Structure 1
Amino acid sequence: MRLIHINPTKKTVEEIDLKVEANTFYTFFSSILIDELPTLNNHTIYLDANALSEKKTPYFIADQIVLGEALILGRNGFEEVDATLSVAEVQTLVNYNVPQFYLDVLDLLAQTDVNLYRAFYVEHNNQKMELNIAWVLYFFNIADERTKEYFINELTKTIQANEDVIAFMQKMAKAALQVAG
């Protein structure tokens, strides 16, 4: 199948051809933990779920923070198909310039066992919302410097006290939603 491979260390985007079988992604990433992000229209981004703890290189695909190498495969409903995006299209979506806030927070989170993309729930305006750590980071990255500093300091305290990082992120998500209205 035609896939798009992104290597942030080499800063390359290339088309590759892989036979997609049950263990293809596990073998490619040398990991049994794989994240699947359905964030690109009719495509899925596959990532090594251990990339955070292994401090792999962060970058963005569109507005989505990702770490380490990525494989992009087409999707038609539940069926995996050839990627239809061109290398040039993907290159325009990739941004290797990661703000310092992200770098600092990712460095802290690497000490934990959290997953940036695993959903958690918060209630806002009597609605249950499904969010994740990547969303919280996106929101706080656009905050002022004082708020970013507060976030990093509180996250540091949470980690040092061995408290629940997901509970902290839920609290920060609620605060972000209140600010947003």
Structure 2
Amino acid sequence: LQFKLTTRMENPIDGELQPFFEIHDSRYMMYWLALSEKGYKEYLQKLADEEAERHALEARTIDKVMPGEQQPETDHRMETSRSEKGSTEGVFYRDARNGHHFSYLMKTNGETDLTLRLTFWGQDEWRTSEFDILIDDELMASADNTHRWRTTQFKTVDYAIPASMLNGKNEVRVKFQAHKGKQVGQIYGVRIIRNENNK
């Protein structure tokens, strides 16, 4: 059997739907997003809001690293003591365990009203994530994300960087060091951003 769709579509299909066995050597689409008129408008608004949020974040970003990716880590002169990398949902991460660490040299542009934003994977039921964040080998914060979210989504956490750690500097080395017997807990993104009141 063959079919022709008459439903209103954002990107109409020019042609008929055929049995799968007849198009095994052709490109095909198996699923469509079906929405009501109200749902469609809400969906477009959600996409627009997400895009605006991405643009706003990029405007606030002074420097960023995608951990686990070779070029960004090379560009930021990564130093490491037995760290490891992997990926989740196609996004790379870096992790360290049992007192080991990894670090990046990141730009600050001489600014002092900044925040460190880290991205984690929320599904952490088996992970004991306890680690220190150091700026130029000085302790900035200790974090404990063990069983914090329990969700299959990426989560971001902001850590305000004290101005005293940034004064007179155009770049800083940001280090993540696991506590003894624990792990950092897979970091998927590292950003230094301007605070909201300092866009």
TM-score using structure 2 length: 0.26
Structure with larger Rg: 2
Q: Which has the higher helix share?
A: 1
Q: Which has the higher strand share?
A: 2
Q: Quick one: higher RCO (CA 8 Å, sep 6+), 1 or 2?
A: 2
